[in-house]
Chain A
C-alpha cells in the first residue's frame, strides 16, 4: 500500500475559515469496484486522517480498512449500514454517506442517497455499466438528487486507455437518457483509487482527459439542488407560545422550498385560510427574507388556527390530494399486501393512510414495470402503489428531491419506519 511509503505532508489548516460550504455526497458501487479504497484515498490525500488512523493504516496496509464499520459487520465481512465520514478542504466541508453495495441492502443505499446533495457512483473500467450501476443510478436520482458523478475506477488496470473510458462514458450517457436525467447533471471521471490518479489532483497518466479531478469537482458542484425558482413553502413544526405573551404566537418550522418575505400573502394548508407574514424571526434577530432550507419562526397578521404539520404557502397554493400514486421502497422484513393500514409522515404531518393497491413492481435493472404479479411488497422492493390518505396533503414535485413529494410509511403496530416513497 502506498500509505507506507508516501511521506506525510503537514496537515493544512483546512476548516479554519467559517465561510466554507457543506457538501453531502453518497458513495456506492458494486462489490469490489473500489469504493472503500476511493474514500480512503480521498481522506488520505486530503490529509483528513489522524496519526492513530494512519498507524492503523500502516499496520494493515489497506486503505479500505479506514471505512470499516462495526464489529458485527467486520465479523461478517460485509458492509450493511450507511457509515458517515467527514473531511474538510480549504474550499469545502464534506459529509460522505458511504452506502453498502449489495442488492440486499437497497434500503440502506436509499437512506444514504436521501441524505445527500450528490451521488458518487463507482464503475469498474474493465466491466463498464453493470446491474448495480443501473440500480444505484435509479435510486440516487429518485430518492436523492439528479446530480451523479460516475467514477470510472481502476484505470490503471486498462493502461489508462482513453478508448476504454470513452466506451464506458457512452454507456453511462445511455443510462442517463434512460433515466431521463438532464445531461448537465452527470459527470463521468476516469480515476484510479488505488494509485491516486485524478482523485485530488490531475494525473499525467490521464493527460488526455481535460476534466477536473474528483475532489475539484466536489469542491465546485452546486450545494443546493433545489430550483431557485421554487415557490415559497414553509412547514410548521411547532407553535411557540412565549409565556405571558400568548397573543404573539409564532410558528416555528423550516422554509422547505423557495423563500418567504415579510409582507407576503400566504395560504395555510390544509385549512385554506389566508393571512400575511408579519415577521420572520430567528434567535439572532428578525429577517426580511428567509430562503430554504432555513429554520425560522413566523408571525402572521391574523389570529387563525395554525399548527404542527400545516404548510404555509406563498402564491398559488399546491393542490390538496386524498388519493395518489406513489413509488415506494419497502424497507421492512415483514411483507405487505394491499389493502393495509399504515401511517404516513409528510413534512411534519402524520396521517393515517391505506395502501390501496400495488400497481406493479419496478424492475431495478430495466426501470420498466416488471412482468411479475404484484400482490405483495417485500424488503427492498421498489413498486408503484396507490395510497388513500386520511387527510388531504399538499403535494408538489415528482421525485424524492422535492420536500413536498416525499414521505415515509410507518407501521402503526411496531411504530417502525417501513417504507420511503414519493408521490408521482
Chain B
C-alpha cells in the first residue's frame, strides 16, 4: 500500500485533462458509433491519449476516421497509420481523391486547397458509418468563431451548425441525446490553448510527426506565408523563388495552405518556448482562415469541423 501514489497537486493540465476524460466517457455512454477524427496532428494525438486514459484497460470504444485530402505530408500519414496500429484501433480513411473520382465533390483545380472539399466527404463518411458523434481536437482559442462553441455541438442531418439551436451546457451535466439523423461534434479540448497542448505532449511524452519540429525544407513565399514545396500541388509559380529554410509547422493540414514558420526549435522545450513567446495566433498561418474574418464561421455552418 505504501508504494501507491497519493494525489499529486491539482494543476491546470490535470483540470483540463479531467474535463476531457469525463466528456469522452459521457460520449461513450450516451451516443452510438462515435468516431474520433484523427489526422495525425498534435491536437488529435492528445485526444487519443485522453481516450486511453478514459477507457484503459478496456479497448477504446471509438473508431478513428481521417478525411485525407490527398495533399498531406507523407510523414504525417505514416505517423497516423503507425499510431492507430499501436493503439489497436480501427482507422477508416475517407479519401477526397476517391470522392472526386466518384463525383461526390468537384475540385476547382489540381492545386486548389481541398479544405472545402473535405466537408461533403466527412459528412458522407459519418453517414455511412452511422456515427452519431464525431470527436475532434478543435479548440476555442483557435479562432473567434469558435469562442462560443460547445463541448457538445449539434449539427442537423446536413451537418450544419446553427448557433441558435445549440443546447446550454450546465455544470458537467452534458445532454448528448439526439434524434436519428442529427449528429454531434464533440470537442473535449475546447478549453485548451496551443500552449496547453504542447505542455501536455511534453508531460505525456507523446510522439508527434517530425514536421512539427525544425527541419530544412524548400519553401516559397505565397499569400503572406511560407509554403513547403510539394510537387505537384505546391510548385513555384512564375515570379516565386524557392528558398531553403529551417522551418516547422504549427498545424498540419492540407499542404496547399499550411504555412511553415522559420524556427530553430527541434525539440519540445524549444517549441514550447517559441509558442509561449509567439506573436501571432496559430491559425494566422493558414491561408484558408485569412480569406476573411468570418470564413471559419461560414465553413462551420456548412458542416466543416
Contacts and interface: CB of A to CB of B under 8 A. Distances in A.
Interface of A: 10-11, 13-16, 18-22, 50-53, 68-72, 81-86, 88, 92-93, 95, 107-108, 110-111, 114-115, 143, 223-224, 237-238, 240-243, 245, 250, 252-254, 259, 262, 282-291, 293-295, 308, 331, 345-346, 348, 400, 403, 406-408, 410, 415-417, 420
B6 A287 contact: yes
Interface of B: 1, 4-7, 9-13, 15-16, 18, 21-22, 25-26, 28-29, 52-59, 140-141, 144-145, 147-148, 163, 166-171, 173, 175, 177-179, 190-191, 193, 195-196, 199, 202-203, 272-273, 276-281, 284, 293-294, 297
B10 A223 contact: yes
Contacts of A420: 168, 170-171
Contact of A237 (B26, B144, B163): B26
Contacts of B294: 71
Given A70-B297, A262-B4, A93 B171 contact: no
28 contacts: A11-B279, A13-B273, A13-B276, A15-B195, A15-B196, A18-B13, A22-B11, A22-B15, A50-B281, A69-B148, A81-B163, A84-B148, A88-B193, A92-B12, A143-B170, A238-B55, A242-B58, A252-B55, A262-B1, A284-B53, A287-B7, A290-B7, A295-B18, A407-B173, A415-B178, A417-B168, A420-B168, A420-B170
Contacts of B293: 71
A18 B163 contact: no
7 closest residue pairs by CB, A with B: A288-B4, A22-B12, A93-B12, A283-B53, A415-B177, A22-B15, A242-B57
Given A243-B59, A345-B173, A21 B29 contact: no
B22 A295 contact: yes
A1 B72 CA distance: 44
A21 B11 contact: yes
Nearest to B15: A22
B25 A86 contact: no
A237 B30 CA distance: 10
Contacts of B163: 70, 72, 81
Nearest to A237: B25
Given A245-B57, A403-B171, 11 more contacts: A16-B273, A18-B203, A22-B16, A70-B148, A238-B25, A240-B55, A242-B57, A252-B55, A283-B56, A286-B5, A406-B170
Given A70-B297, A295-B21, A415-B177, A19 B11 contact: yes
B297 A71 contact: yes
Contacts of A22: 11-12, 15-16
B12 A331 contact: no
A9 B245 CA distance: 29
A52 B281 contact: yes
A158 to B, nearest CB: 33
Nearest to B10: A21
Nearest to B168: A111
A416 B165 CA distance: 9
Contact of B170 (A72, A111, A241, A286): A111
A64 to B, nearest CB: 14
A107 B168 CA distance: 8
B18 A240 contact: no
A152 B4 CA distance: 49
B169 A406 contact: no
A69 B199 CA distance: 28
A252 B57 contact: no
Contacts of A237: 22, 25-26, 29
